[in-house]
Amino acid sequence: MRDIVVAREVAFPREMVWAALTDSRQLAAWLMPNDFRPEIGHRFTFTTKPAPGFDGVVRCQVFDLRAPERLAFSWQGGALDTVVSFDLAQTAGGTRITLRHAGFAGASNLLPRVILGFGWASLLSRKLVAHLDGCRLGA
Amino acid sequence: MSRVSSEQDPFRAIADANRRRMLDLMLAQERTVGELAGLLGIAQPSVSQHMAVLRLAGLVDERQEGRRTFYSVRAADLRGVAEWIAKYEVFWAERLDALAAHLARQRQ
């Protein structure tokens, strides 16, 4: 299974984006309630609505923290044992944010074989493109 | 994706490490409960209970041969799991939009 990668360019300085990623209150404003602290090794949780097979708690641990360019933490919830990272690159107009959610194969060794066999990878990318087009039209 | 009861949720079914190992073993070839118990080193009644969960979630097919029952993976029904991952992709796209909106508010 390939990783999920979503990128956005925003017209704000990198330090400002970094603060929105690493300040617990700001993080809660756009992602989920949390007890994040910008310390390597810090264990924290995001809390959201429970669903079947998922108690609504995402357990995380910070393992990479390089201000103001990279934040990475583990992301465990339900059957998922994955890794989320944010990379911030300075651009002429502001900051390019690249989100990567990796390690879905770890949810089950079955996933890569089964999903690739059914051509889901290409279906997923079509879905994402359609979604992003929808966002652009709405903007 | 329509809502399913938790007994039928394939994602819940694969949340257990023993059930994932059973699926892996059945993916290679069809197996009996006795074979799985031997390969996994767990008791047959436990394997039977796990198999019941996998069957309810629609993840396995069974075939009778004499007095023995062979189980195999019904891969098409793991699509629910793939759809769940697709939702994560949409989730992050929406969250990054929310981040951009949050930054715009911070500047004001």
Q: ipTM score here? A: 0.72
Query: Distance, in angstroms, between B105 CA and closest chain A CA?
Result: 11
CATH superfamily of A4-107: START domain (3.30.530.20)
pLDDT, one tens digit for every residue, chain B (108 residues)? 344 456 666 667 777 778 878 887 887 688 999 999 999 999 999 999 999 999 988 888 899 999 999 998 876 555 566 666 677 788 898 899 999 999 999 877
Contact B102 A29 (CB under 8 A): yes
Where do runs of H (alpha helix) occur along chain A?
14-22, 24-30, 110-117, 120-138
Buried b (16+ CB within 10 A) or exposed e, A49-88: eebbbbeeebbbebeebeebebbbbbbbbbbbebbbbbbb
Taking an 8 Å cut-off on Cβ atoms, the answer to whether B78 and A114 are in contact is: yes
What domains, with CATH codes, occur in chain B? 6-107 (1.10.10.10)
Cα–Cα distance measured from residue A11 to residue B5, given in angstroms and rounded to the nearest whole number = 44
Tens digits of per-residue pLDDT, A73-99? 998 876 667 889 999 999 999 999 999
Q: Which residues of B touch A8 (CB under 8 A)?
A: 96-97, 99-100
Across all residues in chain A, what is the average pLDDT? 77
Nearest CA in chain A to B93: A6
Cβ pair A95, A10 in contact under 8 A: yes
